[in-house]
Amino acid sequence: MQATPQDSTAGHYQGNVDAGEVAKFEALASRWWDPQGEFKPLHEINPLRLDFIDARAGLAGKKVLDVGCGGGILSESMANRGAKVTGIDLGEAPLAVARLHAEERGVEIDYQHISVEAMAAQKPGFYDAVTCMEMLEHVPDPASVIRACSALVRPGGFVFFSTLNRTAKSYAFAILGAEYVLRLLPRGTHNYAKFIRPSEMAAWSRDSGLEVREQTGLTYNPLTRHYRLVSHDVSVNYMMYCRKVSD
């Protein structure tokens, strides 16, 4: 029998989740906040994506849902900009780390173990903004996540996605470079077949009632070892900014 979304609270959710993918993040969870550890790339891109989101959504005072929040790097930084943040993930260990870290820092965030689809059934149109970063390439049905994100945001609300493009360059950088040569990420972190082209992400977004406003690349320079936003180069990691169509 197919599990219902409500089963997520029992930790047995069998819907749109790849248990093996979540297990990878559970195993690494204790190192989430080590800026030199396996999640170093997330720490490095965080100021860039935070500023991108804040400049468009104006985070202060906004109700924001962070989907696939992991250990809370983005959630916490958005809360520090004055947003009222809810973070959801299907990994228990990353959520435990996120809760502990927020408590230590005195940051108030509502972290919940629930699927985005179940959340969409509970709180349609509730959020001013929804963020879903570096998560879509780990789920069996990314279009379902995009539909749920769209359902969760109010008309005119802001939705931000990021993922890895499916190009020869992303294979070279994100898998060969990051996992094998530079060892920035553990081997097996990413699966090339799950990478998503901007055209696919845009089509799923439009089909979900979102208007695609902007896309920008997050490019890594292996020589300087720094990331920056490059609007015209979405060939590896990129973000997409959408607004919910108001009818």
Position 215 contacts ligand SAH (CB under 6 A):
no
In angstroms, what CA-CA distances link 88 with 72, 94, 166, 180, 212?
A: 9, 10, 26, 30, 24
Q: Binding residue per annotation — 177?
A: no
Question: Can you name the residues that pair with 89 across neighbouring β-strands?
Answer: 113
39 vs 246, beta carbon nearer ligand SAH: 39
Edge-to-edge strands of the sheet including 63-67?
Answer: 110-113, 84-89, 63-67, 127-133, 153-164, 237-244, 210-221, 226-230
The piece of 14-22, 176-184, 212-220, 232-240 that touches ligand SAH (CB under 6 A) is: 14-22
Residue whose beta carbon is closest to ligand SAH: 70
Q: Is 119 annotated as a binding residue?
A: no
Q: 160 vs 173, which CB is nearer to ligand SAH?
A: 160
Q: Which of residues 55-94 bind ligand SAH (CB under 6 A)?
A: 68-70, 73-74, 89-91, 94
Residue 136, SS3 per DSSP: helix
Nearer to ligand SAH (CB atom), residue 165 or residue 168: 165
3-state SS class at 170: helix
Least separation in angstroms between residue 242's CB and ligand SAH is 17
Helix runs in the chain, H state only: 19-28, 40-57, 73-80, 92-105, 116-122, 142-152, 168-170, 198-207
Among 64, 81, 85, 115, binds ligand SAH (CB under 6 A): 115
Q: Binding of ligand SAH at residue 218 (CB under 6 A)?
A: no
Kindly state the smallest distance separating residue 246's Cβ from ligand SAH, in Å. 27
Q: Determine how β-strand 63-67 pairs with β-strand 84-89.
A: parallel
- Which residues contact residue 100 at a Cβ distance below 8 angstroms, ignoring those fewer than 6 apart? none
3-state SS assignment for residue 17: coil
Choice from 17, 85, 175, 196 touching ligand SAH (CB under 6 A): 17
User: Is 190 among the residues that bind ligand SAH (CB under 6 A)?
Assistant: no
Question: Residue 21 or 128: which CB sits closer to ligand SAH?
Answer: 21
Nearest to 33 by CA among 91, 92, 99: 99
Q: Does the footprint of ligand SAH cover residue 25 (CB under 6 A)?
A: yes
* Sign of the C-alpha dihedral computed for residues 238, 219, 91 and 64 taken in this order: negative
Interaction residues for ligand SAH, span 148-187 (CB under 6 A) = none
Residue type, 187: R
Hunting for tokens 């916490």 — which residue is that?
A: 76
DSSP state of 181: I
CB 25 to ligand SAH: min, Å: 4
* Position 22 contacts ligand SAH (CB under 6 A): yes
The answer on whether 54 is annotated among ligand-binding residues is no
Name the binding residues: 49, 68, 89, 133
Name the binding residues for S-adenosyl-L-methionine: 49, 68, 89, 133
Contact positions vs ligand SAH (CB under 6 A): 16-17, 21-22, 25, 42, 68-70, 73-74, 89-91, 94, 115, 133-135, 138-139
